[in-house]
Amino acid sequence: MSLDPYKLRLDFPILSETMPNGKPLVYLDNGATSQKPLSVIQATNDYYAKENANIHRGVYYLSQHATELFERTRIKTSHFFQAQCAKAIIFTRGTTDAINLVAQTYGRVNVCEGDEIVLSVQEHHSNLVPWQMLAQEKKAFLKFIPILEDTTYDLSKLNEIITKRTKIVAISQMSNVTGTVHDLTKIIDRARQVGAKVLVDGAQAACHMPIHLVDLDVDFYAFSAHKMLGPTGVGVLFGKEEILEAMPPWLGGGDMIETVDLESSTYAALPAKLEAGTPNIAGVIGFSHALDYLQNVGMQAIKDHERMLTEYALEKMVRIGGLSIYGTEDLDKRGGVISFTLDGIHPHDVGSILDEEGVAIRVGHHCCQPLMKHFQIPGTCRASFYFYNTKEDVDVLLHSIEKVKSIFGRVVRK
């Protein structure tokens, strides 16, 4: 079933805003963070205005009510992503925090000198730097799955990359630069053959398509609430229950303990063991309403709408002279992200001129410096769509790109 972006936009106050230069906002930086509907904004405000109390500790009504709302989000998240169980959902500060948690707990215990950690050349820094730090500490080796010219994974030498020495494979499901959506089946199967664990960076995929964690059958899956209508400062780590049970805590302190003596402590059961300290309660409650909103819209409908926008944009962008697009041409393997460059024009200049037209895109290396080096460019311009974007948004983007070329004295069309 198709969605109506014009109707849905009414739920997002910021999408009606006018920029200081008088131009209406055309928000195309959803890869960085999504906008928030009124229901999420109101829920977050209501917590502070009417329900503010710490969770898991108080016997009074406000504390118990806040705890119920918080834990209800955990159950809802488990159902939304078809996870193993609610205890397998760990709330973090974001995808970066979730990946670091795995590196510093499972990784520290299970990776030894001479072992291997497998990544890809197109990973976000959040799924690269934590493993670099672990490898340096443990004297382990990093190995990388290369990409083909169309930016899909090159699996031709997968058996040589993932070996019996591989302990962890940490891989993204959708590139935040190119929008390429990867079929992870062969990578997961090969990891299973050698007994390696698989962590999937789902920061981009989780917000744009249906994700069934039981079917995906990975050991860890990490994503952020703020990219899927929720507040910032909230992330989710899914892990298989038996693996999470065996992992030591990462942070020590309140709520993750069972008993504490002066010399030693015992730790709480899941999920509390991995959630030390007072969490972002308002953010988690707001995320519950974001999940409700996405459920009502439908993740398949979101995926289909973004495909339509991407196809519409690509058909027009390929006719712009001097414009290079990065990523696969196969729309079945592409999400709603388009990275491009204009010959002889720095991405920062493009972004600044587009801003004058009210168009918000992301420019730079997108926290993927190794991928930029692979492309032999300093950075790209990235337009990223969500379900509230329209063809008119794309048209404004295209018109603004033509303005950039006009300003720099180049021919607008071939």
Catalytic residues: 367
Residue with tokens 């959708």: 174
Q: Using an 8 Å Cβ cutoff, are 351 and 366 in contact?
A: no
Residue with tokens 């670091």: 100
Q: Using an 8 Å Cβ cutoff, are 360 and 29 in contact?
A: yes
Q: Using an 8 Å Cβ cutoff, are 140 and 112 in contact?
A: yes
Cα dihedral 392, 395, 401, 402 sign: negative
For residue 271, cis peptide bond before it (omega within 30 degrees of 0): yes
As a whole number of angstroms, the distance between CA 389 and CA 6 comes to 8
As a whole number of angstroms, the distance between CA 91 and CA 238 comes to 9
Q: How many helices (H) and strands (E) does the chain have?
A: 15, 15
Burial 106-115 (b: 16+ CB within 10 A, else e): bbeebbeeeb
As a whole number of angstroms, the distance between CA 353 and CA 342 comes to 13
Burial 312-323 (b: 16+ CB within 10 A, else e): bbbeebeebeeb
